[in-house]
Amino acid sequence: MRTSNLLFTLLVMVCSRVACADAGGLGPETIEALQSSFEMDAHTRAMYNAITNAHITDLALNRDLLRQHNDLYSHKIDVKGVTNQRSSGRCWLFAGLNQIRHGVRQRQGLKDLEFSQVYLTFWDKLEKSNTFLEHVIRLRNRDLMNRELVMVLKDPCPDGGYWENVVDLVNKYGLVPKDVYPETNSSNATRSMNSVLAQLLRAHAVRLRKMSEDGASLRQLRERKEEMLQDVYRILAINLGEPPTQFTWRYEPGKSGKKENENDGDGAEDGESDDGPDTQQDIEELVMTPRRFFREFVAVDLGQWVNLFNDPTHPVGRHYTIRMSRNVADGRDIHYANIAMDTLKEIAIRSLLDGTPVMFACNVSVDQSSELGIMADGLYDYDSIYGIDMRMSKAELALYRNGTRNHGMVFVGVDLHEGRPVKWRVENSWGSDRGKGGYWALYDDWFDQHVYNIIVLKKYVPEDVLQVFEQKPEVLPPWDPML
């Protein structure tokens, strides 16, 4: 009997090992093999001792690369004032407005100019809420496990966006200077406000679907939607303040000179030495609506910019649009021409040499140091630490979601050597305490691997590239890696 039990136990153990392996699980034999494969040799022990007592990035930092680094550029655009999106995901909005403001500042002769980002944030959140509810109405007959509906419900009113979203907002609502409508706690740190909005919008989604199940018509659903948007407006107005419909803006023109007064006006006798003459600065005053300010003072045709991609996941020379990438329900989705990387760089350089900044989007999560203000391929050498090859192509990075367009910034300079770019000067929106006073050096090898698109004026784009936009666009799904 005892022998039978022992045989039964051994049989169960063997079967369990086989069954575990067959099911794809980690069986005892696999665990033993993994343990045997790890050898604590001298290099491994040195890495173990170092990493368990220090941050990984400090040890992985490529010192050879740092020794070759400098902050010199053959061509720099004169830009003023670093912006700060703080704890929000509004990089696209900051980058889009930064691209516009420098030219306006120079044309108007201003010392500095910053547009109100929170003004467009207010309208962006309202528009995205309306678009979310429109999606709920459109998908009202879909199962709740439907992929498209799940994507909509997962993030009803996100911070993120794209250049086309900037264009639609500015064309519809105009612009205001930042000192007319400054940031608030909720715009600087959007998580709590977004959480409240998400809960509200999902609750309204439940009500709209129940109305549809009870036989409500499309007209009735949209009438109820407009009532729901009153709740959204209330939350936004309390968190961000109501946006101005008209404003008075006083500013100092940068090209006007100072005039000396005849009298000192500081208590010293005339003719006696004091701290210098008083000065009088010319002040201009504008009374405008946001739309008029954009139309007459900013005076920029946003339709002159185009979106050019180096998308390694789709054929080049083609026109693409990504469905459900709009923030305004009756606005535009992303449209782009997919072109070769060398052509994309040539166009960006042409713009920069002419003094025009270039907005771009990239994967900022790889080989980037906020402390040093450097983006360079291989900035962190993890392969040497772990002795493991983790390399992937740009297409593989995108398709397997290790490389996503997660941040927007602006090129404001380039360092050319014998006509070829060595590195690019980048204006970020993370404040002046990060990077090198708010600017980054983006090396050209990093550009190849992690930059996906640029926004550039048509006048810098060759005719054959512009003709790509005349093609009927191929429609990509909202889960495409380029979104």
Please write down the HEC assignment for all residues of 233-252.
HHHHHHHHCCCCCCEEEEEC
Sequence-distant (≥ 6) Cβ neighbours of residue 395 within 8 angstroms: 312, 313
**DSSP code per residue over 158-190:** -S---HHHHHHHHHHH---BTTTS---HHHHB-
Burial of 239 (0-12, 13-18, 19+ CB in 10 A): buried
Three-state SS for 276-288 is CCCEECCCEEEEE
Of 439, 450, 398, 416, the closest CA to residue 346 belongs to 416
Unique residue bearing structure tokens 């140091």: 369
Q: Hunting for tokens 């050898």 — which residue is that? A: 39
Residue 448 CB burial class (10 angstroms; 0-12, 13-18, ≥19): middle
User: At 448, which amino acid appears?
Assistant: D
139: left (phi over 0), alpha (psi -120 to 50) or beta: alpha
What global pTM score does this model have?
0.91
d(C-alpha 123, C-alpha 120), whole Å: 5
In this structure, the number of other CB atoms found within 10 A of the CB of residue 328 comes to 21
Sign of CA dihedral 218, 224, 228, 229: positive
Residue in the block written with tokens 């369990």: 16
Active-site residues: which are they?
Answer: 91, 407, 428
pLDDT by residue for the chain (483 residues), tens digit each? 555 555 555 444 545 555 555 689 999 999 999 999 999 999 999 999 999 999 999 999 999 999 999 999 999 999 999 999 999 999 999 999 999 999 999 999 999 999 999 999 999 999 999 999 999 999 999 999 999 999 999 999 999 999 999 999 999 999 999 999 999 999 999 999 999 999 999 999 999 999 999 999 999 999 999 999 999 999 999 999 999 999 999 998 876 434 333 334 444 444 444 555 556 678 999 999 999 999 999 999 999 999 999 999 999 999 999 999 999 999 999 999 999 999 999 999 999 999 999 999 999 999 999 999 999 999 999 999 999 999 999 999 999 999 999 999 999 999 999 999 999 999 999 999 999 999 999 999 999 999 999 999 999 999 999 999 999 999 999 999 999
Q: Amino acid identity of 388? A: I
Degrees to nearest 5, angle at CA 414 with 413 and 419: 145
For residue 458, the 8-state DSSP code is G
All structural domains of the chain with their residue ranges: 75-247+293-476
Q: Which CATH superfamily is domain 75-247+293-476 in?
A: Cysteine proteinases (3.90.70.10)
Which residues pair with residue 288 across a beta bridge? 247
Work out the angle at residue 402's Cα, subtended by the Cα atoms of residues 396 and 404, and round it to the nearest 5 degrees: 100
Nearest to 412 by CA among 379, 448, 443, 441: 441
What pLDDT shows up at residue 282?
86
